[in-house]
Structure 1
Amino acid sequence: MSDTTQTKIDFSKIQVMGILNVTPDSFSDGGSFNSIDNALAQAEQMVKDGATIIDIGGESTRPGADDVLEQQELDRVIPVIEAIRANFDIPISIDTVKTKVMLEAVNVGANMINDVMALQAAGAVDVAAQLKVPVCLMHMQGSPRTMQHNPQYDNVIADVEKFLLQRVEACLAAGIPKDLIILDPGFGFGKTLDHNITLLAHTSELLKHDYPILIGLSRKSMFGHLLNRDVSERLAASLAGVMVSVEQGATIFRVHDVRETVDSLRVWKAIKEKQK
């Protein structure tokens, strides 16, 4: 296993995770970076813009997305991880639900697992425990293919919290240390606009369990529904979401627009320091 997997990421401090989708069909940037040269150039730009983690995904999780075969996903992500690891000293996250992709990605230099299925795939919890890297557990109702087909909750905050804590218990039981677990409420994954806004308003509820919270709001369709804005016109809304969630205590922000997010967070931090 690569020594780079032992890179420590301090999730108590603000981390800006730049999204690098090496897919032909992701909702915002599909097809833009599915060559090694383009992916490497985008990684370089994100590093310059202040990203502290790069999140690489080889399978779209947009609503209605088709499944991707394991080998196809490996062929997309492994060369890109190798290229970024060879050129940049930055933590790399692998965005996948597949155990073999997790294993191979970490073996070639990924430092973190970001799983929209919260390690529910067969063997995923055990593989993550074996790899000894941070894992992000995300809530999703249904699957990417079906998740927006009339999602319903008794209480979206309580239901999301209950699911995430159940997955935490499964991870702890498998031997994953508490300090390697991150929670993600899963904005847009099996949730209506009202569900998403409610979750965003109550993000602090998840923080009472002392796990870092990852927020993924960037360019999401919730803002399209709220503001009638196309995906290319959702930057201001995305930044507003970041500000609301950082104020509540979230520390990890998964974004497309790294420079603008970093700038916004720098302003917030400067103001906070003057309030002490």
Structure 2
Amino acid sequence: MSTLRGRVAGLPWWDRCAVMGVVNVTPDSFSDGGRWFDTEAAVKRGLDLADTGADLVDVGGESTRPGASRVDEAEELRRVIPVVRGLADEGVVVSVDTMRASVAERAVAAGAVLVNDVSGGLADPAMVPVVAAARVPFVVMHWRGFSQDMNSRAVYGDVVAEVVSELRARMDAVVAGGIDPERIVVDPGLGFAKEADHDLALVAHLQELRTLGRPLLVAASRKRFLGRVLAAEDGSPPPARERDAATAAVSAIAAREGAWAVRVHEVRATADAVRVARAVEGAQ
């Protein structure tokens, strides 16, 4: 199954599902509440993630949790660029998580080798031309709008079919805009304009997402649907940082289904999970 994961032009080749570690350089992340907001702490965090098994590290300076307000461009640049540079200088494979073309451009200049845009290029019309000119890989995520009102857009007749269709249309658009199709990664956008049942259905049907013909990134880490699955009898979900075992379970499922990479906040358990999944593949 590993041969079906696909290669991403411009990135290393891993013979198993890769692990993307997350560094949120934000004061208001749903997951880690600003623990890595300081540049030095964020760089150290990224290095620690790489040491514990992250194949690449995704640096973001804008919270995309439901209801979050946007940060301004200058502040996002201030948060992100020194961290990208610090990690790249240490030899880490760095991705930048941004919806702004200016941040993507500066991050690539600072050493980022992948642009992870949760809007798939929809939030900023300059994004696709910038990525095309930079000739770096681009993550196209399923997205229906900004965090402030995305929950109102979580309306589907058939979530799997609609996500596949909307992702295909977005892929076609970014290719028409000049991005090399061999540099595209797709992401179903778990938690973005989706309810828990939608997220679970997408995880259950990853094979259908792979019909898009491009490597698949699955980003389930600590998200609300896992909180719903793990909820106590009174319906209260566990805190985000208590969802890492559940995250590793989804990572194992995604790896088994041929995902190219999984994006997680805590790396060690998921690094173990994807290696076990690869060993099982090898025993078939």
What is the TM-score normalised by the length of structure 2? Answer: 0.91
Q: Look up the match of 1:106.
A: 108
In structure 2, what is the equivalent of residue 3 of structure 1?
A: none
Counterpart in 2 of 1:123? 126
1:30-69: CA deviation from partner (whole Å, max 9, x where unpaired): 3111112211211121111011110000000000111110
Conserved 8 A contact 1:125-1:170: no
Q: What's the counterpart of residue 73 of structure 2? A: 70
Amino acid at match of 1:15: A
Question: Could you say what secondary structure the match of 1:148 adopts?
Answer: helix
Q: C-alpha displacement at 1:196, in angstroms? A: 0.7
SS at match of 1:208: helix
Counterpart AA for 1:254 = R
Q: Is the 8 A contact 2:160 2:201 kept in 1?
A: yes
Corresponding residue of 2:269: 260
Q: Pick one of 57, 60, 64 that aligns with 2:63.
A: 60
Partner Cα distance (1:199, 1:122) in 2:
28
Taking the aligned partners of 2:145 and 2:42, their CA distance within structure 1 comes to: 30
CA distance in 2, matches of 1:9, 1:36: 26
Correspondence for 2:161: 158
Aligned length: 269
Asked whether the equivalents of residues 22 and 30 of structure 1 are also in contact (C-alpha less than 8 Å), the reply is no
Describe the SS at the equivalent of 2:151. Answer: coil
Aligned equivalent of 2:135: 132
Paired residue secondary structure (1:83): helix
1:248 to 245, 254, 257: 257
In 1, the alpha carbon distance for the partners of 2:10 and 2:43 equals 20
Alpha-carbon separation, structure 2, partners of 1:119 and 1:52: 24
* 2:152 alignment partner, one of 149, 152, 157: 149
> Which SS does the other structure have where 2:208 is aligned?
helix
- Residue identity matched to 1:100: S
The alpha-carbon distance between structure 1 residues 12 and 183, as it changes in their structure 2 partners (threshold 3 A), is farther
TM-score, length of structure 1 as denominator length: 0.93
Q: Could you tell me which of 150, 175, 179 is aligned with 1:176?
A: 179
Equivalent pair of 1:224/1:231 in contact (CA under 8 Å): yes
Gaps of 5+ in 2: 1-8, 232-237
* One-letter code aligned to 1:178: P
Distance 1:117 1:188 in 2: 13
**8 Å CA contact retained: 2:17, 2:258:** no
The letter for the 1-side match of 2:30 is F
Amino acid at match of 1:68: V
1:12 CA drift (Å): 6.9
Any runs of at least 4 consecutive aligned residues in structure 1 with deviations exceeding 6 A, and if so which? none
Offset at residue 213 of structure 1 (A): 0.3
- Indicate which of 31, 35, 49 corresponds to 2:34: 31
- Counting aligned pairs with the same residue, the percent is 39
Q: Helix, strand or coil: the match of 1:264?
A: helix
Q: Name the counterpart of 2:98.
A: 96
Task: Give structure 1 stretches of 5+ with no counterpart.
Answer: 1-5
Residue 215 (str. 1) matches residue 218 (str. 2) = yes
Q: Which has the larger displacement, 222-231 or 46-55?
A: 222-231
RMSD: 1.5
Q: What is the distance in 1 between the residues matched to 2:143 and 2:194?
A: 8
The DSSP-based 3-state class of the residue aligned with 1:55 is strand
Find the counterpart in structure 2 of residue 237 from structure 1. Answer: 246
Deviates more, 1:115-124 or 1:94-103: 115-124
